[in-house]
Homo-oligomer: A and B are copies of this chain.
Amino acid sequence: MANPSASTFDRLFDPKTVAVFGSVKRDKIGHQLISQLSSGGFRGSILAVNPKGESPEGYPEIPGFPDLEHTPSAPDLALIAVPAQFAEQVIESCGETGVPFAVVFTSGFSEIGNTEEEERLKNAAERYGVRLIGPNCAGIMDTAAALYASIEVRAVPGKTAFITQSGAVGGAVLALAKISGIGFSKFVSYGNRVDIGEVELLDYLDSDPHTEVIALYLESLQNGRAFMQAVRRVSRRKPVVIIKAGRSASGLRAASSHTGSLAGSDEIFAAMIRQSGALRVPGIEEMLDLCHGLTSLPRIAGNRLAVVTNSGGPGILTSDRAEELGLQVRESPEKLREQLAGFLPGNCAFANPIDLTVEGTREGYRRTLEAVLEAEYDGAIVINVATPFLDSAALARGIVEAAASQKHPKPVAAVFMAGEIVKQGIETLRRGGIPAFPTGERAAFVLSKMYEYFSSAGRTDSSEPGLTAGIEGAHLPFATDAPVPEPDAVAFLELEGFSFPAHRCISAAQQIPEAFRALGFPLVMKVVSPRILHKSDVGGVLLDLRDERQIQEAFADMARRFADRDFRAVMLYRQVTEGLEIIAGIKQDPAFGPVVLAGAGGVLTELLRDSAVRIAPFRREEAGDMLAGLKIDRMLAGYRGAAALDREALVELLVSLSRLAVRYPAIRELDFNPVFVQEEGIKIGDVRIIL
């Protein structure tokens, strides 16, 4: 009845004894599991548990038992494929006999609305301390342990661990990977995730010696913040590659109904990816390509790419894609050209792409690659387009030799096009440890993502857990069951360090002379009333007040007009007339909690649709990155000869907002609209808080 922590999933992935619960007649899932375990070469013992205590059809050597009480010893792992209504009972018996782990393949739970039975399953597991994968999942694999406890295609050994919410996507990935000879260390399909999910698995895989890269297919998250923290921790040492389904409206609809949980906004998910240092890919082909590159190539130190080819066209297509993806395909430096001219024929192109022409030889490839990797380039894509009359294997040998001779290895990705005629060449590359991709475009994608990973390695500290220490969960100084009056909101935010234009709260006419003297003009007057939310719409905002008489009249007028709408006071502000208008604020995301938004304000809001979001809290660096993603960042820098604006002050504001958001979780929404960014400093034009 041990309750193993995340760090001890060892018996889950490397069990001595596995018990298969459920019918073991041919075509039943139980039988398929037996068949997979057995043909996968599992080294431990397999037991079958079913009411009649039958051995599986065709496997007389595997003993059958009617229940766990009759087995010689408690298994480490139960694979459960009984009908949904019996699953709870099986978990109870596992708990009673001390089985620490169970994988529940059975479907028919929350994915079809049967949350009640799922809840019972979950409670039973908790009660007995049995740790669960599933239900409604496709199982697990551990290639090092030769454990194939899954109904999907058996993975070949490799260095990528693949965790998937969808069993079918898992199956498709494994089958596609097999075609390309891409292997896995572990595979986990966790289905409805009543217990063990992506967070614990990430932490476990972080220290798994067989795993160098972790890939995930996600539709929804268990706990967005915990996931983000886990990815941030892990991705410093091992790349985390993520497919998040549900980017579009219909995809999101399907993801939500499919997993029965909230998939959340894709924009905020994208922020999580940036802030945690994960790598996002759109689909499974890209995921496999990237894992292939990450597990077989050395670190890429910069984004300068050399393209070496024996054919112009594919070299150009590769350059096109590489530059679109942020890599640089710079012209060869003079020294390199001279070097190349020393051994390549004169009809070759030396500029980069470097084109050896169809007459490129093993020696040509080897010497060119060696020269290129010694030059300023950070990595290379080598392309060989074959005809039926070309010996691809020889060219592959040249490439392998060049890569092997590097003192400080740089990544070399190969593209051998295409089909039967390059099979020998690709096999030679594989044996030499050089990954081969079907097209140069796909290789360029891989190197661009690797560059993203290695260049952001330092950046992921920017919102580390330490940031939140001591600031979480404070109480707001006002009632949380009513709209926050503007004077209270402004007073509170000033104490928190936010900067408003000079102002006074005026509840009686005799306060006006002092206020006018203190504030100067022009002034803005805004009505204060708990019953008026949209002040402008009802004439509750007056601009450009320039003398005392005007102000007295305006005050009297507002007091009269809003007498029957709980008129309390007016706020008088010194009017801000200068600066770029920005919108900044806080929102609560259902998956990731408090987030901070910033974007173009004023007339540009709708025109530019220019906004950025980050999960709070974060440091200055992240706030700067957030602004760098906005179109209006050009205006902050001093646009068309205008003076530069105080971008640093805006960065400070965003960082402060991010801390405020975490400190006061009761703030459901907060808007500064607009914030005026001036040449020196910023001024908040208006604030709205919703609790």
A residues lining the B interface (CB < 8 Å) = 27, 32, 107-108, 111-112, 138, 151-153, 164-169, 171-172, 175-176, 178-179, 217, 219, 243, 245-251, 253-255, 257-259, 282-285, 310-317, 319-324, 328-331, 346-347, 349, 351-353, 355, 357-358, 385-389, 417-422, 438-439, 441, 603, 606-608, 631-632, 634-635, 639-640
- Within the complex, what minimum Cβ distance (angstroms) separates A438 from chain B? 7
Query: Are A603 and B175 in contact (CB-based, < 8 A)?
Result: no
Q: Pull 7 A–B residue pairs with CB atoms less than 8 Å apart, ordered by A.
A: A175-B422, A243-B317, A245-B316, A250-B323, A250-B329, A250-B330, A258-B316
CA distance A175 to B415 in the complex (A): 14
Interface pair A439/B284, CB less than 8 Å apart: yes
Q: What B residues does A165 contact at CB under 8 A?
A: 313
CB pair A320–B247 under 8 Å, yes or no, is yes
Decide yes or no: A312 and B166 within 8 Å by CB, A385-B171, A419-B179 being known contacts: yes
* CB <8 Å contact, A320 and B251: yes
A359 nearest CB neighbor, chain B only: B107
Nearest chain B CB to A534 CB, angstrom units: 15
Q: Are A166 and B313 in contact (CB under 8 A)?
A: yes
Taking a contact as CB atoms under 8 Å apart, the answer to whether B316 and A251 are in contact is yes
Which residue of chain B has the shortest Cβ distance to A347 in the bound complex? B112
Residues of B within 8 A of A284 (CB): 317, 439
B171 and A387 contacting across the interface, CB-CB below 8 Å = yes
Verify B178–A312 contact, CB threshold 8 A: no
Instruction: Check if A175 sits within 8 Å of B314, measured CB to CB.
Output: no
Which B residues touch A386, using CB under 8 A? 171, 175
Q: For the complex, what is the distance from the CA of A282 to the CA of B635, rounded to whole Å?
A: 34
Closest residue of B by beta carbon distance from A635 = B607
Most buried by B among A108, A151, A258: A258
What is the bound-complex CA distance between A253 and B389, given in angstroms?
A: 30
Contact A385 B314 (CB under 8 A): no
- Are A417 and B317 in contact, with the CB atoms below 8 A? no
With contacts A32-B389, A175-B386, A387-B151 known, is A439 near B169, CB below 8 A? no
CB distance from A333 to the nearest CB of B (A): 14
How near does chain B come to A358, taking the closest CB pair, in angstroms? Answer: 7
Count chain B CB atoms within 10 A of each CB in A138, A319, A357 and give the residue with the most.
A319
Q: Known contacts being A171-B385, A258-B349, A316-B255, is A283 close to B32, with CB within 8 Å?
A: no
Q: Are B606 and A639 in contact (CB under 8 A)?
A: yes
Q: Evaluate contact between B285 and A438: CB separation under 8 angstroms.
A: yes
A284 to B313, CA, bound (A): 11
Given the contacts A168-B312, A323-B249, A358-B168, A111 and B285 also touching, CB distance less than 8 Å: no
By beta carbon, the residue of chain B nearest A323 is: B248
Q: Tell me the bound Cα distance from A511 to B315 in angstroms.
A: 66
Contact across chains for B603 and A112 when beta carbons are under 8 A apart = no
* CB–CB A323/B175 < 8 A: no
**Contact between A312 and B258, CB atoms less than 8 A apart:** yes
Task: Give A151 to B421 CA distance when docked, in angstroms.
Answer: 13
Chain B residues within 8 Å of A248, by CB:
319-320, 322-324, 329
User: Across the interface, which residues of B come within 8 angstroms of A358, CB to CB?
Assistant: 107, 167-168
Bound-state Cα–Cα, A27 to B388, Å: 11
| Interchain CA distance A111-B312 in the complex, whole Å | 10
Beyond A171-B385, A219-B313, A250-B322, 17 additional contacts (C-beta under 8 Å) are A32-B389, A107-B358, A152-B387, A167-B311, A171-B418, A172-B311, A179-B419, A219-B316, A246-B320, A248-B324, A253-B351, A254-B355, A258-B313, A282-B321, A282-B441, A283-B317, A607-B608
**Chain B nearest CB, measured from A86 CB (Å):** 18
Please report the C-alpha to C-alpha distance between residue A418 and residue B192 in the assembled complex, in whole angstroms. 24
A259→B251 CA distance, assembly (Å):
44
A606 contact from B112, B219, B634, Cβ within 8 A: B634
CA–CA, A355 to B27, complex, Å?
22
Q: Which 7 A-B pairs have the closest CB atoms?
A: A168-B311, A166-B313, A248-B323, A169-B313, A250-B329, A175-B419, A175-B418
Residue of A219, A312, A606, A634 contacting most chain B CB atoms (<10 Å): A312
Q: Establish whether residues B219 and A312, one from each chain, have CB atoms under 8 Å apart when the complex forms.
A: yes
* Distance (whole angstroms) from the CB of A381 to the closest CB of chain B: 12
In the complex, which residues of chain B have a beta carbon less than 8 angstroms from the beta carbon of A634?
Answer: 606-607
Question: Whole-angstrom distance from the CB of A360 to the nearest CB of chain B?
Answer: 11
Shortest C-beta distance, A340 to chain B (Å), equals: 15
Task: Give Cα A237 to B240, complex, Å.
Answer: 48
Cα–Cα distance between A173 and B255 once the two chains are bound (Å)? 36
**Pair A640/B606 contact, Cβ less than 8 Å:** yes
Residue among B259, B313, B438 making CB contact with A217, cutoff 8 Å: B313
Q: Is B323 a contact partner of A251 (Cβ separation < 8 A)?
A: yes
Are the C-beta atoms of B319 and A251 separated by less than 8 Å?
yes
Give min CB distance, A399 to chain B, whole Å: 17
Which residue on chain B has the smallest CB distance to residue A286?
Answer: B441
Q: Is the CB of A176 within 8 A of B438?
A: yes
B258 touches A355 (CB 8 A): yes
A632 partner, pick from B219, B245, B607, beta carbons under 8 A = B607
Chain B residue numbers with a CB within 8 Å of A176 are 417-419, 438
Q: Which of A172, A179, A320, A606 has the most CB of B within 10 A?
A: A172
Q: A419 and B351: CB pair below 8 A?
A: no
Knowing A175-B417, A603-B640, say if A257 contacts B389 (CB, 8 Å): no
Contact B254 A349 (CB under 8 A): yes
Nearest residue (CB) in B for A357 is B107
In the assembled complex, how far is the CB of residue A477 from the closest CB belonging to chain B, in whole angstroms? 36
In the complex where A313-B245, A355-B258 touch, is A439 in contact with B179 (Cβ < 8 A)? no
A607 to B636, CA, bound (A): 11
Q: How many Å from the CB of A164 to the closest CB on chain B?
A: 8
Residue of B nearest to A355 (CB): B258
- B contact residues around A419 at 8 Å (CB): 153, 175-176, 178-179
- Max chain B Cβ within 10 angstroms of own Cβ: one of A164, A168, A314, A419: A168
User: Smallest CB–CB gap between A85 and chain B, Å?
Assistant: 14
A217–B634 CA distance with the chains assembled, in angstroms: 38
A314 engages B418 (CB within 8 Å): no
Q: B640 touching A246 by the CB < 8 A rule?
A: no
Contacts A111-B347, A248-B329, A320-B246; is A315 near B603 (CB within 8 Å)? no
Given the contacts A312-B258, A439-B285, A172 and B385 also touching, CB distance less than 8 Å: yes
- Chain B residues with CB under 8 A of A639: 603, 606-607
B441 contacts A385, CB within 8 Å? no
With A257-B349, A312-B254, A634-B606 as contacts: A321 and B385 at CB distance below 8 Å: no
